[in-house]
């Protein structure tokens, strides 16, 4: 420990050469270190902090705490924890920046969980999620969307309810779709998903950045939903407090006896009863239940009762419910399952099955063999717009258009600056000739009159019609201005398992406004006035989501 080494790093590419001397220090047992992993999204390398248990044994069985940093905070929260003998503390870097922990920020946390658990002796039933401020929001969001992954969560000094933000946007003309998107990102709407995942919430009473009322409100909502929650309000404390000192506990607002004791007493246990709130197929699994909404948001309450009886107590807006029989066998399920839904009953032999899909619309029945024709919002193409950036993607621009190339370069720079990511540019003709939609989501710059690839897929994007530089029809409604632009996402007609996104429009003016499109606020589509976008609320003309059939 403490030994130093120097490494000469030489980078050569395209006639460019640079030499850098890296000074390295060998860390000791139990010391904090910074490691890297390779993102499957775009092949970029990102760092994370890791503090192992003191005297960790390779064949041991340790807990794992993932702690998410706040906006402009310490890049690796793991470094702010004290010395533990029972868990690894991991601090994601938000892709070496400030990416909120939804969309690709959420993907990073899930990738990192799998990466660390595959490299270190981690007990998957003792994985915990915490975070402070923006990181606390991340703990809320990821916690309600993936409650089955965690033994407990601990959001600290944070907001878990975005209802007021959504309400303010809902009152602005054209911004209703953005308000709906915020509700999709609003953890408070999915509080029931935590019914089997204990929660510790902490906040300083004198917080001058995130008001303490934010935690008080969501704690009240959790208690109303029957969630096990401990709330600790620290009198007189502001947004952060304490200092890092040698010993068992670190920065007081993140790591103190009450928080560690709460986490340590909980291990992940598969519940017999699952309550799930689901609004998208990409977040359809809650413990051993997978829900497919018929429309809007589905709410289900399912219990494995005694005697091999599966009782569906509630099913609002739920077209199908699928249960993981492997998980139910851990709870004692035998060879036969008796399904009860209201006055209906179904007996099913489950021997040799891994899953059982039940159709609820039109009466209780098995869902196997039920035709699902045409486009549906199903994984891997569910929307919203930002989901196109959650898997490998390319930026496609038309040859011969300097404006489109410059806009494509902006998207590339935006991805690097915002997500620390790598994005490759190709021309429209290259994309068509190489059939790049087979392996990538494609972000097209320019509409059909400018971009050959957009022209090729235009007829398959049934919900949108480009009507020239001054008009577009979305979901049958014609929108006309002196100039209009769009940002949209849709299953690629040439490969419906991948996305095609279009940014810009049919005029250079619409394309030149691409740098002002707020990509992270686009639901499935946004229509904008390029003269006003980014300068006035009226720059956004219309926003929204396509329906379940992408119409």
What pLDDT is recorded for position 297? 97
Cα–Cα distance, 215 to 190 (Å, whole number) = 15
pTM given for the model: 0.95
What pLDDT is recorded for position 306? 87
pLDDT-flagged residues of the chain (< 70): 1-2, 369-373
Crossing angle between the packed helical segments 104-119 and 134-145, to the nearest 10 degrees: 80
Cα–Cα distance, 396 to 498 (Å, whole number) = 14
What pLDDT is recorded for position 22? 85
- Quick check: helix, strand or coil at residue 536? coil
163 phi-psi bin (left φ>0, alpha ψ -120 to 50, beta other): alpha
What pLDDT is recorded for position 58? 83
550 phi-psi bin (left φ>0, alpha ψ -120 to 50, beta other): left
What pLDDT is recorded for position 11? 87
Beta strands in 84-185 (DSSP E): 87-92, 122-132, 152-156
Show the CA angle centred on residue 540, arms to residues 514 and 165, nearest 5°: 115
Equal CATH topology for 34-264 and 385-544: no
The CATH code belonging to domain 34-264 is: 3.40.50.1820
> What DSSP string describes 399-435?
TT-HHHHHHHHHHHHHHHHHH----EEEEHHHHHHTT
What pLDDT is recorded for position 29? 81
**CA-closest candidate to residue 491, choices 461, 471, 535:** 461
User: Which is it for the CA torsion 68, 72, 77, 82, positive or negative?
Assistant: negative
251 Cβ contact partners less than 8 Å away, ≥ 6 residues apart: 80, 81, 240, 242, 243, 244
What pLDDT is recorded for position 4? 83
Taking a C-beta distance cutoff of 8 angstroms, is the pair 348, 308 a contact?
no
Token pair listed for 524: 């499935």
Cα–Cα distance, 293 to 437 (Å, whole number) = 28
What pLDDT is recorded for position 15? 86
> What DSSP string describes 305-348?
ETTTEEEEEEEESEEEEEEEHHHHHHTT--SEEEEEETTEEEEE
Q: Where are the domains of the chain?
A: 34-264, 273-366, 385-544
Beta-sheet strand order (sheet of 62-68):
33-38, 45-51, 87-92, 62-68, 122-132, 152-156, 199-204, 229-234
Classify 385-544 by CATH class. Answer: alpha beta
Distances (CA, A) of 343 to 296, 298, 363: 25, 20, 10
DSSP β-ladder status, 62-68 and 87-92: parallel
What pLDDT is recorded for position 30? 84
**Peptide linkage before 380 cis (omega within 30 of 0):** yes
Which alpha helices (DSSP H) does 171-315 contain, by range?
176-184, 213-224, 257-264
362 Cβ contact partners less than 8 Å away, ≥ 6 residues apart: none
């Amino acid at each position: 420990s403490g030994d130093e080494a120097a490494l000469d790093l030489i980078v050569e590419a395209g006639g460019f050469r640079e030499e850098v001397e890296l000074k390295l220090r060998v860390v000791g047992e139990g010391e904090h270190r910074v490691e890297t992993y390779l993102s499957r999204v775009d092949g970029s390398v990102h760092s994370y902090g890791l503090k192992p248990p003191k005297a960790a044994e390779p064949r041991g069985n340790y807990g794992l705490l993932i702690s998410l940093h706040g906006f402009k905070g310490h890049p690796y929260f793991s470094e702010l924890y004290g010395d533990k003998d029972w868990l690894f503390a991991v601090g994601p870097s938000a892709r070496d920046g400030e990416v909120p922990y939804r969309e690709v920020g959420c993907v990073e946390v899930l990738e990192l969980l799998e990466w660390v658990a595959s490299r270190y002796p981690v007990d998957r039933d003792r994985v915990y999620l915490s975070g402070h401020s923006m990181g606390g929001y991340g703990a809320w969001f990821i916690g309600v969307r993936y409650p089955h992954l965690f033994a407990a969560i601990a959001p600290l000094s944070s907001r878990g309810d975005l209802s007021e933000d959504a309400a303010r946007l809902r009152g602005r003309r054209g911004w209703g779709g953005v308000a709906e998107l915020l509700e999709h990102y609003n953890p408070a709407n999915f509080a029931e998903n935590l019914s089997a995942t204990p929660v510790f919430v902490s906040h300083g009473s004198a917080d001058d950045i995130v008001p303490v009322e934010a935690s008080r409100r969501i704690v009240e909502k959790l208690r109303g939903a029957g969630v096990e929650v401990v709330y600790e309000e620290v009198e007189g404390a502001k947004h952060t407090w304490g200092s890092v000192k040698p010993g068992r506990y670190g920065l007081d607002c993140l790591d103190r006896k009450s928080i560690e004791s709460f986490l340590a007493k909980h291990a992940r246990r598969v519940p017999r009863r699952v309550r799930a709130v689901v609004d998208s197929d990409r977040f359809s699994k809650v413990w051993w239940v997978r829900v497919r909404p018929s429309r809007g948001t589905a709410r289900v309450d399912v219990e494995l009762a005694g005697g091999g009886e599966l009782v569906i107590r509630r099913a609002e807006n739920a077209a199908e419910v699928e249960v993981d029989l492997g998980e139910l066998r851990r709870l004692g399920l035998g060879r036969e399952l008796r399904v009860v839904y209201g006055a209906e009953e179904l007996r099913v032999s489950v021997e040799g099955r891994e899953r059982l899909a039940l159709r609820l619309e039109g009466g209780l029945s098995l869902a196997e063999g039920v035709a699902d024709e045409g486009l549906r919002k199903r994984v891997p193409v569910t929307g919203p717009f930002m989901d196109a950036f959650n898997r490998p993607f390319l930026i496609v621009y038309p040859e011969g258009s300097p404006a489109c190339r410059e806009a494509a370069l902006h998207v590339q720079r935006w991805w690097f600056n915002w997500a620390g990511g790598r994005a490759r540019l190709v021309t429209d003709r290259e994309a068509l000739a190489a059939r790049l939609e087979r392996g990538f989501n494609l972000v097209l710059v320019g509409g059909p009159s400018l971009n050959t690839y957009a022209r090729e897929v235009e007829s398959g994007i049934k919900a949108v019609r480009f009507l020239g530089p001054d008009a577009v029809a979305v979901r049958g409604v014609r929108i006309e201005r002196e100039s209009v632009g769009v940002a949209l996402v849709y299953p690629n007609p040439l490969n419906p398992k991948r996305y095609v996104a279009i940014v810009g429009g049919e005029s250079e003016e619409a394309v030149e406004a691409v740098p002002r499109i707020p990509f992270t606020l686009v639901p499935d589509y946004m229509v904008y006035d390029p003269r006003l976008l980014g300068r006035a609320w009226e720059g956004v003309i219309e926003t929204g989501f396509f329906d379940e059939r992408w119409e």
